């Protein structure tokens, strides 16, 4: 039965009994997780490039937060726009880190309440 599904026929009777299946792991490549520091606004371009290349970035923001909160806000806004434009995701973790992901990785934010239809809301 298995041989019918995978296309083995009677002529292959004398050959080895195995079927080659292409591995998905090798063809998909590896995902890198980078830990980077955001020291000033000049670092934003490097972080954007890393995310566009498919890296997940853990970004340390403590130093810039302590030094210049306005500059930190400008950096975060630019990174947020990059994440949105590339269908990625961004979230603050604790007070000292951001996580920025490319489009293939989404950040889990807890269970979301199910969407109710109008009929369900009436009852």
Provide the CATH number for the domain around residue 54. 3.30.110.150
Range of the domain at 43: 33-101
Is 15 a member of any domain? no
Is 109 a member of any domain? no
Is 121 a member of any domain? no
What is d(CA 98, CA 114) in angstroms, rounded to the nearest whole number?
Answer: 28
What is d(CA 101, CA 91) in angstroms, rounded to the nearest whole number?
Answer: 9
0.85 exceeded by pTM: no
What is the overall mean pLDDT for the chain?
Answer: 77
For 55-112, what is each residue's pLDDT tens digit? 999 999 999 999 999 999 999 999 999 999 989 889 888 889 999 999 888 888 876 6
Number of domains in the chain: 1
- Looking at residue 1, what is its pLDDT? 47
- Looking at residue 30, what is its pLDDT? 77
């Amino acid at each position: 039965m298995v041989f019918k599904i995978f296309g083995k026929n009677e002529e292959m009777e004398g050959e080895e009994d195995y079927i080659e299946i292409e591995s998905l792991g090798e063809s998909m490549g590896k995902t890198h997780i980078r830990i980077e520091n955001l020291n000033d606004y000049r670092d934003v371009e490097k972080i954007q490039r890393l995310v566009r290349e498919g890296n997940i970035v853990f970004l340390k923001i403590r130093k810039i937060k302590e030094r210049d909160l306005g500059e930190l806000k400008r950096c975060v806004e630019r990174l947020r726009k990059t994440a949105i434009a590339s269908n990625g995701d961004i979230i603050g973790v604790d007070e000292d880190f951001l996580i920025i992901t490319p489009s293939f990785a989404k950040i889990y934010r807890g269970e979301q309440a199910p969407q109710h239809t109008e009929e369900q809301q009436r009852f």
